[in-house]
Structure 1
């Protein structure tokens, strides 16, 4: 891959095209995003997100940025935990996803701030947030290293970043079944539910192209994060990486 290209799933494309293509994917799935997540994971994605929040150690009064926050499930839980003294910013690059999240939280009476942002160049001041989370969004970013550096920049000293993302399955006997599910069942679900098999084919491919656990850990360390670690969930289907800005 050259300096001016990146991957969209398994396809190599010009760097500047990826944002447009990812936008098309999430414009297509926004209104049924959570329903599809429940179907695809049998609801387990909610447990993965709950573990991420527990791992964050969030406290009352803190300031939290939820990147790629989409429909707002993490932001809603953070808002309850930080209380009125704290602040939560729900951020996403995709306007359709952000609108779904805004409408949902307002219907629940949950007040947070909203921002349409690009994770590669966050429009916040240095040292702004105690906690930054990004759940299932980093693999869609064109320049992951730039995003990680940007996240670290806007963290306060002592703050922590948590990246929840699909990763490398570590239970080898299950890999053929996992591949069958990823490349056959997921596109079929997308076709049946949304008449959109291609978005879920991209999902499966983007997971395979994302760095594995140890590679991503090294990327966080190279970006200046310290005390980095990761936790495999569901046999490594997903992993939560955590790093501190000291």
Structure 2
């Protein structure tokens, strides 16, 4: 079974997720001790997808988040570059498409909002992906990212990095069909930038009004941003 490395070769990452697709959602719930559901609910509230809107759920995996966002009546599209993930989520009944975040197969200004949950850290070029996402979101549209982050309080940050993250990884390995893949996931969590650094990256990629909300003491954070309105000629 394959696992990716921190150089995040797209083929290796896709192959790794293809290999864990069948039990991915179950392993995620075990690994996060059920907090994944709370984080998804919080992200849906921040996204606030409404009837008549078109929402791109990028790195959507099996579409578990997409189906959550669609409950409010918006048209939500699950996009992922892992065919295994998309195939495993066919039963969810949401539209799905295979797509590379760096080369999205959509016209400019196609969506009212775009969202990524626990997937952006797997992109080989985060800033290029953020810029490409801005291209397909209309002026005034929204970006919502839910991702692992850095607890602000020192003692909690120490506990998270030394004990909790290791426990999560161990549980993931025990419940996954590809235990080696969870070694990569742990490494990617530890090397991912903190809240402010990610916010600055988002702002430098064509987004404005960037802000974030810490969840679970900052172990996870939701970043929200807006695509600037087009200036009148």
TM-score by length of 2: 0.90
Deviations 1:15-55 (A, max 9, x none): xx711221232122211111111111111111111111111
Find the aligned partners of 1:27 and 1:74 in 2 and give their Cα distance.
Answer: 18
Unaligned runs of 5+ in 1: 1-6, 107-111
Matched, 1:134 2:116: yes
Residues 195, 66 of structure 1: CA spacing in aligned structure 2 closer, same or farther, 3 A cutoff? Answer: closer
Residues 44, 123 of structure 1: CA spacing in aligned structure 2 closer, same or farther, 3 A cutoff? Answer: same
Find the aligned partners of 2:186 and 2:211 in 1 and give their Cα distance.
Answer: 25
Residues 34, 163 of structure 1: CA spacing in aligned structure 2 closer, same or farther, 3 A cutoff? Answer: same
Find the aligned partners of 1:187 and 1:224 in 2 and give their Cα distance.
Answer: 34
How many correspondences in the alignment? 225
Is residue 165–residue 239 contact of structure 1 (8 Å, CA) maintained in 2? yes
Find the aligned partners of 2:183 and 2:65 in 1 and give their Cα distance.
Answer: 25
Unaligned runs of 5+ in 2: 229-233
Shift of 1:219: 0.8
**Greater share of helix residues, 1 or 2?**
1
Find the aligned partners of 1:159 and 1:166 in 2 and give their Cα distance.
Answer: 24
Shift of 1:59: 1.2
1:4 corresponds to which residue? none
Find the aligned partners of 2:146 and 2:52 in 1 and give their Cα distance.
Answer: 23
Shift of 1:221: 0.8
RMSD: 1.8
Shift of 1:197: 2.9
- Which structure carries more relative contact order (alpha carbon 8 Å, separation 6+)? 2
Runs of 4 or more, structure 1, over 4 Å off, are none
Shift of 1:210: 1.6
Matched, 1:125 2:116: no
1:148 corresponds to which residue? 130
2:71 corresponds to which residue? 80
